[in-house]
Chain A
Amino acid sequence: SQKIEQNSEALNIQEGKTATLTCNYTNYSPAYLQWYRQDPGRGPVFLLLIRENEKEKRKERLKVTFDTTLKQSLFHITASQPADSATYLCALEPGGYNKLIFGAGTRLAVHP
């Protein structure tokens, strides 16, 4: 079956360290993959999009990689801050369907 997997366990890290979140998928060949941030009780907010022909994308302290052979995307937050604490969702579009499929998200907690 087709699915997207994100680590369901919360990731706890110390402030200043790099947080790395993983998104794995099976049986898809997406043209691109997106990452969103969701704070408790709020709607997800778009962060980054990476295309299949891009190995890496950066935005300020955020970096996303996309390995279509491994069917995996990694999301990095460098110099993490307590304000980065949230749930991070990955999403992809199964080819030709014009809608996104979301992973369940990974909760990140950055401790001072």
Chain B
Amino acid sequence: DADVTQTPRNRITKTGKRIMLECSQTKGHDRMYWYRQDPGLGLRLIYYSFDVKDINKGEISDGYSVSRQAQAKFSLSLESAIPNQTALYFCATSDPLLSNTQYFGPGTRLTVL
């Protein structure tokens, strides 16, 4: 079984809708991250969490919110989706004892019409 899973894998939605992307991990890591990837721009950090009570904004947090429900679960929400949030979204975990090497999920392809 995959160590980091994401649901849904693909989602098409309309402008203004609320969307939640979910991430679960079985690696036992405290640290979790949400990234978006756009062609030519690479991975950009949206939010990150170093434990259940710790939530931090990343480089591009505007328009997004997150919830860390448990050590194993980290959800990303788009409160009111807009077309420029169309992207590939990745969840990742890391172990600080391994120099923050990131373990990524398979990604969610989100299209906002």
- Give A residues with C-beta under 8 Å from B: 8, 32, 34, 36, 41-46, 49, 89, 91, 93, 98-100, 102-105
Contacts and interface: CB of A to CB of B under 8 A. Distances in A.
A80 B102 CA distance: 25
Interface in B70-113: 88, 90, 92, 96, 99-107, 109
Interface of B: 4, 31, 33, 35, 40-45, 48, 50, 58, 88, 90, 92, 96, 99-107, 109
B65 to A, nearest CB: 18
A30 to B, nearest CB: 10
A100 B103 contact: no
Nearest to B50: A98
A110 to B, nearest CB: 22
Contacts of A100: 45, 100, 102
A46 B42 contact: no
Contacts of B42: 89, 102-105
Nearest to B40: A104
Contacts of B102: 34, 36, 44, 46, 91, 100
Contacts of A32: 99
Contact of B43 (A8, A98, A102): A102
Given A89-B42, A104-B40, A105-B42, A43 B107 contact: yes
